[in-house]
Chains A and B, each alone.
Chain A
């Protein structure tokens, strides 16, 4: 059925295919890449910029990720992957040769910020040179790491820690405030509370912060590199565990990619259950974010109420799937745990209670003026900035961009789910809080819908043939769209795994919200984004 559906989508493809052919006649080769399910636009490096700009601005496709692959002899293929409102991907492909090959940078076009970090990452990890990029180096790998040692290269040994001198010098950005009376206040990477490692340099003139310079990748664990050469079953552990608070969404994306490559038809019961657990995870994730926001404003009772909801959801997840963070529930071919009748009944009842508790908390917060004062007009991200940085998920929705993979490219059983995507315009902390509340309530509603339609039958296809090939899966993780590109070679071994989590785009836009604010608002802005560093750093 999946194959059939894809075939229908591919038949509709000629629209964009023909448009692209006519528009780029003589400059690009445009054809249908059937196995991957994409419209493939092959260009020379000089035309890259114009084609990507055209896709962004005229064809209304959105940039998903940059996939770099190296073949023996330093032959490079760079794929700029775009998505729109159909199952069809658009890939813009360029081929290059040689160590340190030169690629034209896209970081200075209108939507440049979307490409910016992808280019910096590829420069650090593959040693590619992006011509015209204003700031390269010291991104994923911090300054002590020697230039010219690029861990994603084919010949790099991922098992051993390379030996090089470590100066352990203090990090300082290239440009820093130098007005009289001003100073730069470092925050992190170790925090006063239970927080993830990241570093923020706040440029300030006393009470007011002018600019925030963030620094990430303290938690880079080389997930993409250590996955190479490993069997699918082992890489699934990495997919689930690189970002533990969104484990189910990322595990699901990885399994989806494997299933597309091996043409596995997932049983309908498993699809409905995947949707159900993905929403249960989103509900818990948002409850935790709401608890974080209340905590950042020192509203202790509200923070406790949200934390109780979070802990109750963790306990419920554990009872249903054996694991509090849903680890090990999803597997290529379906699910590993089934929901029996008593559990379904219990879940139906409890999910309603959670929705009611959240609605109550939302109303109580709405009438707490001291709380709202701390959130309103704080950490504003304009619609324009959200668009140019390619922000995703609830953060983008609070700034007027209603993109949602569940609607654009329905996966699992989302085509059977009836829900609306919340949208707010203000782009401030309170708009984000409202989006988190509304999405959490929608998630509870989707869980109930799935319980109603949960069809009988098997939950797992055990017998299937491993195939080699490539696929990209997109899911709406709790903090936005996640793209998992996977290439399998003979014997279910992973040849290339490219993970583009939502936090990667959203952390990039964080500094936009953290400009010109009062010092004490920093924890609130941070909490209102509700992002994970583990997810971003990988």
Chain B
């Protein structure tokens, strides 16, 4: 019989310094494109916009706007073969409110700050978002230490974590789960699919994100968002962390100008 206690203890502490400090281990996040502060108006913005297969990049005076809710981390805009590319930011504090005008519904009671029960629903995700969410329970991220718990029943849940573009067959299970949760409750959409439909939606069988069915309180962009980004989303729900500096405003602006 292997001595699992000794094996566990001899592994040492692996826990991420986040949220107390920044996690600087390499490979914790793929990073994401960020709009450069300025760009010469020589057609570069248009080139970049045309290169983005999911229409996340829109030219605007003096540069480009990037809709992080659409970006699927395909790296097409980072190619530097012809010298045209956008800067790539590292980091993972990406969670934000869905729109600039958004105000949180009645604030979650402070007491939720250290005891938040999470219910997860897969609304057609590819498996990468689920895999990243699952990593939250591994020894590196270990969300139990923050009082975040995954609950086996919606009746105990405070937060509904949803990934995927919302496939047709998952509409009913998702709605039933939401309705079974007691108020106050929050919905967190994780990944480009859950925010905008990603590469799949909207189509005949997928919606253009979870907000087609449920009110979304917090979005975590990324394809997939790394575990620390999802963790930031949960911390944002209980207001233990502020939202990302770059909000989803760009998306609304881009939609207006289109």
| Residues on A facing B (Cβ under 8 Å) | 142, 145, 151, 156-162, 168, 189-197, 217-223, 225-226, 233-234, 237-238, 241-247, 288, 299-302, 304-305, 307-308, 310-311, 314-319, 322-325, 327-328, 336, 364-365, 367-370, 462, 532-535
Contacts and interface: CB of A to CB of B under 8 A. Distances in A.
A225 B201 CA distance: 12
Interface string B209-236: 0000000000000011010000000000
A302 B5 CA distance: 10
A194 B133 contact: yes
A300 B154 CA distance: 25
A220 B27 contact: no
B106 interface: no
B7 interface: yes
Nearest to A196: B122
A218 B1 CA distance: 42
Nearest to A462: B81
Chain B interface size band reads 35 or more
A193 B74 contact: no
Contacts of B119: 190
B240 to A, nearest CB: 22
Contacts, number: 220
A103 to B, nearest CB: 24
B220 to A, nearest CB: 15
Contact of B170 (A218, A238, A244): A218
Contact of A222 (B8, B123, B206, B226): B206
A157 B205 CA distance: 11
Given A221-B200, A535-B127, A190 B74 contact: no
Given A222-B203, A226-B203, A237-B74, A192 B167 contact: no
Interface stretch (B58-66, B107-115, B134-142): B134-142
Contacts of A244: 125-129, 131, 224
Residue among A145, A195, A370, A534 with max Cβ neighbours from chain B (10 Å): A534
B100 interface: no
Contacts of B153: 192
B169 A311 contact: no
Contact of A323 (B26, B73, B124): B73
A308 B140 contact: yes
A130 to B, nearest CB: 23
B73 A245 contact: no
Contacts of A220: 124, 167-169, 205
Nearest to B54: A237
A324 B73 CA distance: 11
B154 to A, nearest CB: 8
B69 interface: no
A322 B27 CA distance: 8
Contacts of A151: 204-205
Contacts of B172: 168
Contacts of B165: 221
The 6 closest A-B pairs by CB, nearest first: A244-B128, A315-B27, A192-B152, A244-B126, A318-B27, A307-B138
B254 interface: no
